[in-house]
């Protein structure tokens, strides 16, 4: 029990862990990071400030944020030999395949931050992972389009640096568009952490065995890739494009309701939210703002708005409490900024790294922490004796 939040003993006895980082009330559609509501953070904070908040528990003072930004900027470059890893992939490799491989390999290059018993090494590994994810993701994109890698430019903000490494080229100067930078930073904030989702639980479980932090984050990236989880943003935009016209929405809603049809509305529904995902609201507002400010129109946004209206007034979705989630509108913004759909989940992984790292630190620094060991309900054969092959 902690004042405002009291759990029934039944809940805590089945909870996978105790955490002070993120609180979700799925019925009320509430999401708090260290007590701060997600919409206030998305509107007023920055991704680096939220990263500090998740890691250290409080919003930083001005000098603390400046020092944090400086420390992160010291780790944005990737060991030069890691660049050769990219050349081992086919050009059409999915960026998430590259991220799994390259992040997992980091432990082979940064031996001075793999001893999890040393708090200083844990902190350096945490800073390295947060700092290098934009560089790794941008390099995956550049490699896929056959353009040269750009080194980080630490005179830019964390997000501005990422945009330049992604969309800049050595032959031209690159101006960070402040509208795009603000939208990208807000998208990172909205994806930063989300309590014990599948990929965060994967990171915690891997960490509980004492695996090094780079390997744990690589495990989280692998889990996030699935279309039921982080892969939904790519699947949602592909679905909206496939629907293509508001006249075809009813056909897809009918398919989503048909028990015999495996099709589900991507970007809809959630394990925990049985109300509107608070992140989806901010994402929809941001999609409208970005398209307006960039003077772009996207017929897919009209399809998304109409689909949301139709679904939310349909008794199937009302009864099952299915609402748009964080992935429903994000793809529209990412597409407007210029990312291909294959990069969408890699961007989710980039942002969620701050949550994974914060949750890993919380778990690994708990002296009571034991190796995770999920239990099962055994429904197999009762004990029986071996039968030689000739007698089966
Ligand atoms: C993320 O955990 C997290 O916090 C994850 C995440 C994070 O920040 O880390 O929030 C990010 O992963 C968001 C979710 C992204 N995934 C998608 O948008 C994929 C589409 N959504 C579905 O696959 C589904 O909603 C899940 C996987 C998200 C949840 O699936 P569940 O647990 O089966 O949902 P449920 O138990 O609430 O389902 C209730 C019913 C079921 O029908 P019945 O078996 O009761 O008849 O609703 C149905 C489901 O089949 N249903 C859907 C549906 N989602 C659930 N029917 C049609 N379309 C959908 N999208």
pLDDT digit string, tens, across residues 280-327: 999 999 999 999 999 998 899 999 999 999 988 999 999 999 999 999
Give 88-142 pLDDT, tens digit per residue: 999 999 999 999 999 999 999 999 999 999 999 999 999 999 999 999 999 999 9
β partners of residue 37: 32
* Residue nearest (by alpha carbon) to ligand 1 atom 3: 197
Average pLDDT along the chain: 94
- With a 6 Å cutoff on the Cβ, whether 278 touches ligand 1 is no
101 Cα to the center of ligand 1, angstroms: 28
Note if 270 is an active site residue.
yes
Res. 4 pLDDT band, cuts 50 70 90: very low
User: What is the predicted pLDDT for the residue at 117?
Assistant: 92
* Residue-wise pLDDT tens digits, 324-347: 999 999 999 999 999 999 999 999
Ligand 1 lined by 267 (C-beta under 6 Å): yes
Confidence of residue 1 (pLDDT cuts 50, 70, 90): very low
Q: Which residue puts its alpha carbon closest to atom 41 of ligand 1?
A: 320
Q: What is the pLDDT of residue 330?
A: 94
Confidence of residue 15 (pLDDT cuts 50, 70, 90): confident
Distance CA 82, CA 300 (A): 38
Mean pLDDT of 59-75: 98
Helix axes 213-224, 119-144, angle to 10 degrees: 40
Identified catalytic residue from 75, 194, 270, 298 = 270
| Two structure tokens written together for 316 | 């199937």
| Alpha helices (H) along the chain | 9-14, 38-44, 47-56, 62-73, 83-87, 95-105, 119-144, 158-167, 178-190, 198-208, 213-224, 232-243, 249-257, 278-293, 299-312, 315-319, 327-337, 344-364
Residue 42: pLDDT band with limits 50, 70, 90: very high
Predicted structure pTM score: 0.93
Closest residue by Cα to residue 201 from 223, 218, 234, 183: 223
Instruction: Output the residue whose Cα is nearest ligand 1's atom 20.
Output: 266
What are the helix (H) ranges across 15-118? 38-44, 47-56, 62-73, 83-87, 95-105
Overall average pLDDT of the 258-264 stretch: 95
Residue 377: both structure tokens together: 């309900």
Is the ipTM here above 0.90? yes
- Which two tokens mark 150? 């750009």
pLDDT above 70 (res 238): yes
- Measure the CA–CA gap between 292 and 308, rounded to whole angstroms: 20
Q: What integer pLDDT is reported at residue 3 of this predicted model?
A: 42
């Amino acid at each position: 029990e902690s004042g405002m939040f009291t759990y029934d003993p039944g809940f805590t006895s089945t909870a996978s862990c105790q955490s002070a980082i993120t609180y979700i009330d799925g019925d009320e559609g509430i999401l708090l990071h260290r007590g701060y509501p997600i919409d206030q953070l998305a509107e007023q904070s920055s991704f680096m400030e939220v990263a500090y908040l998740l890691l250290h528990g409080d919003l930083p003072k001005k000098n603390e944020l400046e020092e944090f930004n400086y420390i992160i900027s010291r780790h944005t470059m990737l060991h030069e030999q890691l660049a050769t890893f990219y050349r081992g992939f086919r050009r059409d490799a999915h960026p998430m395949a590259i991220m799994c491989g390259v992040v997992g390999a980091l432990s082979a290059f940064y031996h001075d931050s793999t001893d999890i018993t040393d708090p200083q090494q844990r902190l350096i590994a945490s800073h390295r992972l947060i700092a290098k994810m934009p560089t790794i993701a941008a390099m995956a994109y550049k490699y896929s389009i056959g353009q040269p890698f750009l080194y980080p430019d630490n005179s830019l903000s964390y997000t501005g640096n990422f945009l330049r490494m992604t969309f800049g080229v050595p032959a031209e100067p690159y101006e960070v568009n402040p509208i795009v930078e603000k939208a990208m930073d807000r998208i990172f904030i909205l994806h930063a952490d989300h309590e014990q989702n599948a990929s965060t639980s994967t990171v915690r479980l891997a960490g509980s065995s004492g695996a090094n932090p780079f390997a744990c984050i690589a495990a989280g990236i692998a889990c996030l890739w699935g279309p039921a989880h982080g892969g939904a943003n790519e699947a949602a935009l592909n679905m909206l494009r496939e629907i293509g016209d508001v006249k075809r929405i009813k056909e897809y809603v009918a398919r989503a309701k048909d028990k015999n049809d495996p099709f589900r509305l991507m970007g809809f529904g959630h394990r925990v939210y049985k109300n509107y995902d608070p992140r989806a609201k901010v994402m929809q507002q941001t999609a409208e703002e970005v398209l307006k400010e960039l003077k772009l129109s996207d017929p897919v946004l009209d399809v998304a708005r109409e689909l949301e209206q139709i679904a939310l007034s349909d008794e199937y979705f009302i009864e099952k409490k299915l609402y748009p989630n964080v992935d429903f509108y994000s793809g529209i913004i990412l597409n407007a900024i210029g990312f291909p759909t294959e990069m969408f989940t890699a961007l989710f992984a980039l942002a969620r790294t701050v949550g994974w790292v914060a949750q890993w630190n919380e778990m690994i620094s708990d002296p009571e922490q034991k190796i995770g060991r999920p239990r099962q309900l055994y429904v197999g054969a009762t004990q029986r004796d071996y039968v030689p092959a000739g007698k089966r």
